[in-house]
Copies of this chain bind each other. A is one copy, B any other.
Amino acid sequence: MANTKKVVSLSPVPLYTQIKEVLRTRILGGTYKPHQQIPSESEMMNSFGVSRITVRQALGDLQKEGMIFKIHGKGAFVSKPKAFQNIGQLQGFGEAMARMGYETFSQLVSIKTLAAGRAVGAKLKIKEREQVTELRRVRYLNREPISLDVSYLPKTIGDRLAKEDLAHRDIFLILENDYGLSLGQAELQIEAMLADDSLARLLKIEEGSPVLRIERLTFTAAGQPLDYEHLFYRGDAFQYRLRIERGHI
């Protein structure tokens, strides 16, 4: 009964989501410290005024996010903060190349406004029918084409970007410096594929050449998905380097 932060059921956001947010805030804010036991399910039922099934859904989500862990018969505890977890320092194309003294620029292939569709909408967390901006650019290194970037952004941002000098400026630097959007983390998926006809023509390689396909979803620091990209890198001219840590469990 310590404090009775009532959650409201009239709100459009589900009760268990509200509870999740409250707990997340308390954990990140230090109210609940690592390895400390958090209130039991029945205590939360009382303090939040909800049923056990709702509390359990919130706790289950937090557990699968790695924020807490539960021990049968004992209780739920705050996980150790991820310490070194995501130290994988991604060296972006522009930055890495500039550091090595290479000159790069981008050629804008097309810029369109279209409906998000299911795949893009799901990634950017917007409705299928909402509009997004699609940017296609070929990136050059030493006058050699090295990658095709296909970016999807919410239309509001895409419209502003359309007026910028996309040939020489990095989208992410524009977003951060000019628009004041601070970027958080990104999720990447990397796979190998073969260049089809149109991709081969853009990258000036043979059809059927190996290509690194990278899907990148970038979030703001607040956790809002902002930019969904497909990057196609020439396999013969690019290597992706990263460094990762061993998790401790």
A235 at the binding interface (Cβ < 8 Å): yes
Across the interface, name the chain B residue whose C-beta is closest to A170. Answer: B249
A192: chain B residues at CB < 8 Å are 192-193, 210-213, 233, 235
In angstroms, Cα B244 to Cα A89, docked, is 6
A240 and B85 form a contact (CB under 8 A): no
* Copy count, this protein chain: 2
A244 touches which one: B88, B172, B211, B233 (CB < 8 A)? Answer: B88
| Residues of chain A in range 39-92 having any CB-CB distance to chain B below 8 Å | 64, 84-92
- Count of A residues near B, CB < 8 Å? 47
Among A6-14, A108-116, A182-190, which stretch is in contact with chain B? A182-190
Q: Hey, which chain B residues are within 8 Å of A85, CB to CB?
A: 88-89
Q: Restricting to A172-186, which residues have a CB under 8 Å from any CB of B?
A: 172, 182-186
Given contacts A95-B248, A191-B235, 19 further A-B contacts (CB under 8 A): A84-B189, A85-B88, A87-B242, A88-B244, A89-B245, A90-B246, A92-B248, A172-B249, A183-B246, A184-B245, A185-B245, A186-B249, A188-B241, A189-B242, A190-B190, A190-B239, A193-B235, A194-B210, A221-B246
Subset of 26 A-B contacts with CB under 8 Å:
A64-B64, A84-B189, A87-B88, A87-B242, A88-B245, A89-B247, A90-B245, A90-B246, A90-B247, A172-B249, A182-B246, A185-B243, A185-B245, A186-B243, A187-B241, A187-B243, A188-B241, A189-B240, A190-B190, A191-B212, A191-B238, A192-B192, A193-B210, A208-B208, A210-B211, A242-B242
| A185 vs B241: C-alpha distance when bound (angstroms) | 13
Assess A212 versus B183: contact at CB under 8 Å? Given A90-B245, A244-B87: no
CA distance A190 to B191 in the complex (A): 9
Taken together as a complex, chains A and B put the C-alpha atoms of A71 and B153 apart, in Å, by 23
Which chain A residues have a beta carbon within 8 Å of chain B's beta carbons? 64, 84-92, 95, 172, 182-194, 208-213, 218, 221, 233, 235, 238-249
